[in-house]
Amino acid sequence: MAIRVFFLFTLGYFLSYFYRSANAVLSQDLSQELRLGPAELGLMTSLFYLAFAAVQLPLGSLLDRFGPQIVTPALLAVAALGSLVFGLAQGFATLALGRALIGVGMAAALMGSLKAFSLWFPKGYATVSTLLVGLGATGGLMAATPLAVLKEMVGWRGVFLGGSLVVVLVAFLIFLGVKNAPPGVVWPKGGGSGGLGEVVRNGRLLRVAFLALAFAGGFLSLQTLWAGAYAYDLGLGTLEVGNLLFFYSGTAVLGFLVSGYLADRLGTARVLLASSLLFALGLLLLLLKVLAPAYLILGFFGAFNILTLTQARELVAGHLVGRGTTLVNLFGIGGTFLLQWGVGVVVAAFGYPVAFLGLLGLLLLALVLYLPLLHK
């Protein structure tokens, strides 16, 4: 039963990663068919993250009260509706609605999994959670070259219309195939609502949260849109773009899998600093149009942004861990919304080099603010 729980929740997170990444390959088709400029494309795509972030706090209460067996499938049904709306869209407004519904629906894919795993895998929680993120991130691989091939076969609308059926199927499998807790384990009652003020006043945690905004926001805004759109702008074809995004997402899977191991042995703060600096190097290579090395570095070291959540757990008291990690996650997801949209606005006005320099400058500022955490 435990293996089935792990497999089905990982499948849900795989779909979340696929949908958040899909627009990178489809950006050219969406722009041409529906006449979207860079700012509109960036805003529409970033709405996934705005909607995702907006439901995080109420989601925690719902998971505590009803459990992921009910909450995760219910939200996946919203994602299926969003995929259907997106696939039928004839203009920006409908695309935006569909994208936002997908974001709401996928919001429980990771948090619902972690909630379930805390009871199903209490002893190996860290290992199982890291494995979930690494395997689920292969959804980004599916949204690269395989999606480029599939899109040529059925069109981008066919991808989203068919995808809605897949999401419904996975929702049913989770509802029917998992339980909130193992047999004999009592479902814990959710905690109180206090403590948020204490978390917000934690200056060290806020430094980590701002790093999450710049690091996770930069990583995801590139992976799920602008890395693909930039390659198209340089004149590459669909399969070439798909291959570059495959490199990006493939190395990200490896990064997710090894980041926790390195942090346990070298220290979370040191590994976060080093990986952030190497991600900055990837941005420089992107500016120089050295694409293959840039995408490999951005993917592998960008995945280490997940350690901001690990460090959040280290900086708050035990009874505030949920609130602390949620706060950092909100900054990371909210940063993705702001940066994905912001890059589109800057690209439309000044071009890609200025936009990428902006990402680099924001990351370096966050690292300067983060440096005191190296000295506990």
Closest CA to 83 of 33, 26, 8: 26
Of the listed ranges 69-83, 127-141, 284-298, 357-371, the least confidently predicted one is: 127-141
How far apart are the C-alpha atoms of 98 and 93, rounded to whole Å? Answer: 9
Cβ atoms of 302 and 279 within 8 Å: the answer is yes
Which is higher by pLDDT, 200 or 153?
153
pLDDT of 257 > 90? The answer is no
Supply the pTM of this predicted model: 0.80
Res 58: pLDDT: 78
Listed in sequence order, the DSSP H helices in the chain are 2-34, 38-54, 56-66, 68-88, 92-105, 108-120, 125-136, 138-142, 145-177, 196-200, 203-221, 227-233, 238-266, 268-287, 291-302, 307-314, 321-350, 352-370
How far apart are the C-alpha atoms of 122 and 145, rounded to whole Å? Answer: 37
Averaged over 109-124, what is the pLDDT?
80
Res 7: pLDDT: 93
Domains in the chain, please, with CATH?
1-180 (1.20.1250.20), 196-376 (1.20.1250.20)
- Please report, as a single letter, which amino acid is at residue 283: L
Which is higher by pLDDT, 185 or 137?
137
